[in-house]
Amino acid sequence: MRDILRRYGGHILEDFLRRYSGQIVELTLEHLWLTFAAMLFATAIAVPLGVWLTQNPRWARPVIGFANVLQTIPSLAMFGFLLPLPWLGERAARVAIVALTAYALLPILRNTYAGIRGVDPSLLSVAEAMGLTNRQRFMKVQLPLAASFILAGLRTATVTCVGIATIAAAVGAGGLGELIFRGVASIDNELVLAGAIPAALLALGCDAALGLVERSFRVPGQGSRA
């Protein structure tokens, strides 16, 4: 019985891969492109902004609150809000990248701010007593100690982007969500699985890879915040 199930399951898998492997590879590359572009923009915005907020803490609550509001907007609604905008709505990929960037801001911004603010003040006092300038204290003390927290935020944001990027297919931006939407529209479970399984594996792979990088920067005894 086990041999029959193995043989039968092997034929199903082989047939599945023969039918969808080309589409899965192409759409996975599109999915990765959307995610990578959004993470690049989100990191370029959120990390410097988080650093600035540590120097201007009175702005921390409203700025992080605004990022939190963006996070609560339903993904389809976000895409809908962006589509009518001039220039942006002309290409679906632009809409998807801007939306994904907005969703990635909060974890990166929050962790950057919390990580740098959480550095032990006594360490900063010692660094100041050693004659280090503000820039040197930031680069040699605060940033290395906060690195694991920042990476934890990047990790959370990346997994979030991979998941929400499946919705990008609703506006024609491509990605693995295209298979899912086509499968739902045609009531084809195989098509849904052809998009959902690679998307889930992609999210798990990104989480595992960034988790390894995060742990390599973690100071002994230091936890992570996400």
pLDDT digits (tens, 9 = 90+) for 13-22: 566 667 777 8
Average pLDDT, the chain: 84
Tell me the mean pLDDT in the region 161-187: 89
User: How much is the pLDDT for 3?
Assistant: 46
Q: pTM to 2 decimals? A: 0.85
223 pLDDT exceeds 70? no
Cβ pair 27, 179 in contact under 8 A: yes
User: How much is the pLDDT for 5?
Assistant: 35
Residue 173's Cα: distance from chain center in Å?
A: 17
User: How much is the pLDDT for 4?
Assistant: 39
- Answer positive or negative: Cα dihedral of 126, 130, 133, 137: negative
Element containing residue 138 per DSSP (H, E):
none
The fold adopted by the segment(s) 21-217 is MetI-like fold (1.10.3720)
User: How much is the pLDDT for 220?
Assistant: 58
Q: Which of 24, 74, 46 is nearest to 199 (CA)?
A: 24
